[in-house]
């Protein structure tokens, strides 16, 4: 009868661990011989026995140590990346090998992570020790006061005050500093003036274009007015000619009418004489 897959698997993993003991045949993995446990559980035990445990200590062999470092470093970087992505965590990882080579990983910026770590450490220390917190703020106040005092002193020196204790070298350095400041001020001023001139030129170009458009519109309107004046003048002359022609025709008609009346009167007078 052919052995089962479980029997072959158990023979390969357990048989290697049975030093000095002879195996008379394939292992019997029936439920009775497993002590009531499940077959899957026993297989896990067999796997753990076959794999064994690695002692956590320095690896003496240089080649093995480098190989192990490379493998575990890759796994560590992978886990850090997964932690940052899955949990939306800000992760920073720094590793130096035994040869001094640097390996790092940062989910955002390593500099910001380190600064955040330092601030968190200082905050933690201040919370644990109120006295140290008070001393910290006293140091901060002292530092700020010193900075303000230095700024006031530099300002007075730039204005030419309190220079009695200066050596020639100090005065030369101060002069160089003032000249550099003036050069920077002039450069900024020239840049602003150039920008303003450019802006004014652009506005001038726009105004010039608008003037040209307005001139064109004015010429069109002027031409239109001239045409209207011509039409009005022509209309007045036409009406005057019609009135003149009408007046010239009226005297003829009146004389004709007068002649007809005279002729009628003469006829009537002749008839009266004949009757008499």
> How does pLDDT run across 144-159, given as a tens digit for each residue?
999 999 998 888 888 8
Residues sharing a CB contact under 8 Å with residue 121, sequence separation 6 or more, in sequence order: none
The 8 Å CB, 24+ separation contacts for 80-88 are 80/105, 80/107, 81/105, 81/107
For residue 103, which of 83, 73, 59, 80 has the smallest C-alpha distance? 73
Q: Give me the torsion for CA of 239, 240, 244, 247, rounded to 10°.
A: 70
Residue pair 11/26 in contact by the 8 Å Cβ criterion: yes
For 228-273, how does the pLDDT look when each residue is reduced to its tens digit (9 = 90+)?
A: 988 888 877 766 666 566 555 555 555 555 555 545 555 555 555 4
Sign of CA dihedral 21, 25, 27, 31: negative
Which of 52, 56, 49, 59 has its CA nearest to residue 15? 49
Average pLDDT over the chain reads 77
Q: What is the C-alpha to C-alpha distance for residues 59 and 67, in angstroms, rounded to an integer?
A: 11
Query: DSSP state, 57?
Result: S
| Ranges of each domain in the chain | 1-53, 166-237
CB 76 within 8 A of CB 105: no
pLDDT of 171 strictly over 70: yes
Determine phi and psi for 4, rounding to 5 degrees. -80, 170
Phi, psi of 105 (to 5 degrees): -145, 135
pLDDT, position 20: 44
- Phi first, then psi: give them for residue 182, nearest 5 degrees: -65, -40
Percent of the chain scoring above 90 in pLDDT: 38
What is the C-alpha separation between 73 and 97, in angstroms, rounded?
A: 9
Instruction: Give the 3-state secondary structure of residue 102.
Output: strand
Beta bridge partners of 104: 94
Which two structure tokens, joined as six digits, stand for 86? 């899955």
Strand-pair category, 102-106 with 92-96: antiparallel
Q: What is the pLDDT of residues 24-39, one digit of tens each?
A: 444 454 444 444 455 5
């Amino acid at each position: 009868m052919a052995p089962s897959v479980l029997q072959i698997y158990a023979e390969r993993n357990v048989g290697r661990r049975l030093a000095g003991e002879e195996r008379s045949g394939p292992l019997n993995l029936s439920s009775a011989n497993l002590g009531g446990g499940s077959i899957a559980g026993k297989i896990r035990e067999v796997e753990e026995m076959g794999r064994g445990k690695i002692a956590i200590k320095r690896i003496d062999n240089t080649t093995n140590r480098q190989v192990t470092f490379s493998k575990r470093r890759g796994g560590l970087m992978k886990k850090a990346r997964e932690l940052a992505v899955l949990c939306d965590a800000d992760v920073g990882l720094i590793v130096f090998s035994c040869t001094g080579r640097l390996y790092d990983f940062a989910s955002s910026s390593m500099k910001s992570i380190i600064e955040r770590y330092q601030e968190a450490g200082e905050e933690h220390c201040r919370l644990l020790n109120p006295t140290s917190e008070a001393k910290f703020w006293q140091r901060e106040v002292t530092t700020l006061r010193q900075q303000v005092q230095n700024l006031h002193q530099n300002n007075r020196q730039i204005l030419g005050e309190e220079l009695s204790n200066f050596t020639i070298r100090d005065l030369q350095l101060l002069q160089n500093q003032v000249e550099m400041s003036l050069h920077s001020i002039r450069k900024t001023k020239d840049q602003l003036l150039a920008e303003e001139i450019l802006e004014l030129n652009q506005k001038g170009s726009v105004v010039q274009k608008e003037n040209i458009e307005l001139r064109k519109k004015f010429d069109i309107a002027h031409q239109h007015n001239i045409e209207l004046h011509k039409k009005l003048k022509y209309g007045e002359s036409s009406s005057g000619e019609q009135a003149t022609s009408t007046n010239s025709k009226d005297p003829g008609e009146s004389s004709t009418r007068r002649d007809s009346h005279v002729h009628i009167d003469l006829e009537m007078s002749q008839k009266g004489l004949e009757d008499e």
